[in-house]
Amino acid sequence: MARASSLLYLDGVSVSFDGFKALNELSLTIGPGEMRAIIGPNGAGKTTMMDVITGKTRPDSGEVYFDGTIDLTGEDEASIAEMGIGRKFQKPTVFESHTVWDNLELALKAPRGPFATLFHVISGGERKRIEHLLDLIRLGGKRDDLAANLSHGQKQWLEIGMLLAQDPKLLLVDEPAAGMTDAETAETAELLKDIANDHSVVVVEHDMVFVRSLGVKVTVLHEGSVLAEGSLDHVSANDRVVEVYLGR
Amino acid sequence: MMSSFLFRAMDARAGIFLAIMAAVIILIPAGNLLVPEGSAFHVPNYALTLMGKYLTYALLALAVDLVWGYCGILSLGHAAFFALGGYAMGMYLMRQIGTRGVYGDPNLPDFMVFLNWQELPWYWYGFDMFWFAALMVLLVPGFLAFVFGWFAFRSRVTGVYLSIITQALTYALLLAFFRNDMGFGGNNGLTDFKDILGFNIQADTTRAGLFVASGLALVICFIICRSITRSKLGKVLVAVRDAESRTRFLGYRVEHYKLFVWTLSAMMAGIAGALYVPQVGIINPGEFDPANSIEVVIWVAVGGRGTLVGAVLGAVLVNFAKTWFTGALPDIWLFALGGLFVFVTLFLPKGIVGTFSQGWTALRQRRISQALEAGSGEAPDAPPHSPSAPANVTHATPAPKATDPQPAE
């Protein structure tokens, strides 16, 4: 896919930490509205890739473009988030001493400057949107609970809710099903499929059942570059993938 | 917009605090000026000045609580901003002495005559006018904090490293102000003040006036802090305190938030210093002592960080104890202070106010659940919560191990 028509475009991206190549000439393109699953063994560079896209890590070389024209390598985390890339961390990271409601309010798309927030008064529209999100992530009854007191699965969902509240164009979701029961995992897959209807989503996941239930194109990373790409059945049939990923 | 901003500051706890402050501001000066000396309700002069001093310490503690309790910036250098505000006020007071100094020089303060200086250094210009000095009380600490914060927060210096740099900042200023060449009176500092705004600084009424001014400054700054911490900005600050990098990924520019609250806090510390100096009658480089800044942190920790009221309470209580100890058992004081800090850290990690309100919340929750068990049928209120309390709360369930234990951030 050409750069101009892509939503996210990585070309020849390399990152090394103390000589260890976390990303090695990684090239990847995500189209508008696409949902993509990314799998790979430990140390394949999945989280580093997310760090590069969200501005946490600067690549040593290579191009990273968002929306076809915006060069992300020169931007910091805050401005990349404002452009419309939201990220859910592998370990659920919510604001523990805030309530569920406040967590969503903070994430809600609104002016981000100190003076804008100082004089901010929550509007009816914002309330409605938070209510809607609370329903979606099924935490309506817990709106006044501190996020610290949620279960692990609930925190995962709250973080997905915060991601949606930002209303990003592209969602980067790192292991959304980690630590969830089978039933929760299935529900999360449904939720992500719903979200993918009007957002682009990149999901990093280990759980093969979960990836299969998403039913989307899969990219396999290995040692910092793309090993295979295609449907899950297609990549599962690839001998190299079986070798490095399944360890057989 | 402004009214809703200030309206947010009020609730029961703020109301109680403001009522107590109003009583203090009215009753103590009245007890000093109006009640005859023989009466049991008479407030002696020394007590009035002492309590006025406590109020300025309380304001300093409030400033530290704003950055430490809400934004997680542990400043070990706030005494520097306090002392700078004090020096700005001291320079005004020096200029008011006029020809009444020991050397009677119409233009130069005594210490400059003593050092054989011929003319007033440029940075003393303007300090004969009160409005200019008052402006400098805000601007000098504010500017220093802005420049310091600009570099520190942009470079993402956090935690203990930032604390150490703030110690270095105040220590550097201590050494600089000790030098005679600096033109701030060197070792002796600025003292021997006569007038403030035309009133004799020794007069009872002036002292009472300074007490009231300190009380009002504390009330106004309290309301400002309270409005800030209860606004959405306050929520962002707590978010920064608990998960700085997550806040960044939400699109908030953390360094701007820190810089805003840091600069504001430094200005409040400056005001506290400016009110402190006329009441104690001297400002010298000793105020920059790194140990002073650490003591302020102890006041806040004792009272309860992240509560504002706790900072005020802690400052008053610890200083009251200090006054008593240094009079009765002068050798013991520093051990007592150290012991107090260890005690609070071990047994009252949320401080006095934090522990109290936590107990209150637990009691209310128990009542609600008892009422429910008794079958009163009424749905419980929204459970009380305190978003400003530190995040070390109990987890409902231990987080299961992630399959791939890489650090997320």
Whether residue B369 sits in one domain with residue B286 = no
| A78 vs B232, B251, B387: nearest CB | B251
What tokens were used for B252?
């908030």
Whether residue B373 sits in one domain with residue B270 = no
Whether residue B371 sits in one domain with residue B286 = no
Residue with tokens 């006020």: B89
A146 in reach of chain B (CB within 8 A): yes
Residues of chain B with pLDDT under 70: 1-6, 375-409
* Residue finishing a domain among B290, B325, B341: B290
The pLDDT assigned to A246 comes to: 60
pTM for this predicted structure: 0.89
Whether residue B372 sits in one domain with residue B263 = no
State the Cα–Cα distance between residues B365 and A98, nearest whole angstrom.
18
Q: Which of 205-244 (B) contact A at CB < 8 A?
A: 228, 231-233, 235-236, 238-239, 242-243
Whether residue B261 sits in one domain with residue B387 = no
Q: Is residue B123 part of a domain?
A: yes
Whether residue B255 sits in one domain with residue B375 = no
Q: Is residue B37 part of a domain?
A: yes
Whether residue B371 sits in one domain with residue B235 = no
The pLDDT assigned to B175 comes to: 96
What are B182-226's pLDDT values in tens digits? 999 999 999 999 999 999 999 999 999 999 999 999 999 999 999
Binary contact (A175, B251; C-beta < 8 A): no
State the Cα–Cα distance between residues B340 and B342, nearest whole angstrom.
5
Binary contact (B238, A78; C-beta < 8 A): no
The pLDDT assigned to B2 comes to: 61
State the Cα–Cα distance between residues A230 and A226, nearest whole angstrom.
11
Q: Is residue B347 part of a domain?
A: no
B12 in reach of chain A (CB within 8 A): no
Whether residue B227 sits in one domain with residue B114 = yes
Whether residue B128 sits in one domain with residue B237 = yes
Provide the terminal-to-terminal Cα distance of chain B, rounded to the nearest Å. Answer: 37
Task: Give A18-25 contacts, CB < 8 A, sequence gap 24+.
Answer: A21/A223, A21/A224, A22/A48, A22/A224, A23/A48, A23/A49, A23/A52, A23/A59, A23/A62, A23/A224, A23/A225, A24/A223, A24/A224, A24/A225, A25/A62, A25/A224, A25/A225
Binary contact (A118, B408; C-beta < 8 A): no
Nearest one of B143, B141, B181, B163 to B60, comparing CA atoms: B141
Whether residue B379 sits in one domain with residue B243 = no
B394 in reach of chain A (CB within 8 A): yes
* Residue finishing a domain among B246, B271, B290: B290
The pLDDT assigned to A247 comes to: 61
3-state SS of chain A: helix, strand, coil percent to 5? 40, 25, 35
Quote the number of domains for chain B. 2
* Containing structural domain, residue B19: 2-290
Q: Is residue B39 part of a domain?
A: yes
* Residue finishing a domain among B290, B323, B351: B290
- The stretch A105-131 carries a mean pLDDT of 92
Q: Is residue B41 part of a domain?
A: yes
B264 in reach of chain A (CB within 8 A): no
For all residues of chain A together, what is the average pLDDT? 89
Where is pLDDT greater, at A248 or A98?
A98
A57 in reach of chain B (CB within 8 A): no
The pLDDT assigned to B386 comes to: 45
Q: Is residue B216 part of a domain?
A: yes
Q: Is residue B295 part of a domain?
A: no
Whether residue B158 sits in one domain with residue B243 = yes
CA count, 13 A, side-chain hemisphere, A106: 33
Q: What is the ipTM of this complex?
A: 0.89
Whether residue B230 sits in one domain with residue B126 = yes
Q: Mark out the alpha helices in B155-253 (DSSP H runs).
A: 159-178, 204-230, 232-242, 244-249
Q: Is residue B322 part of a domain?
A: no
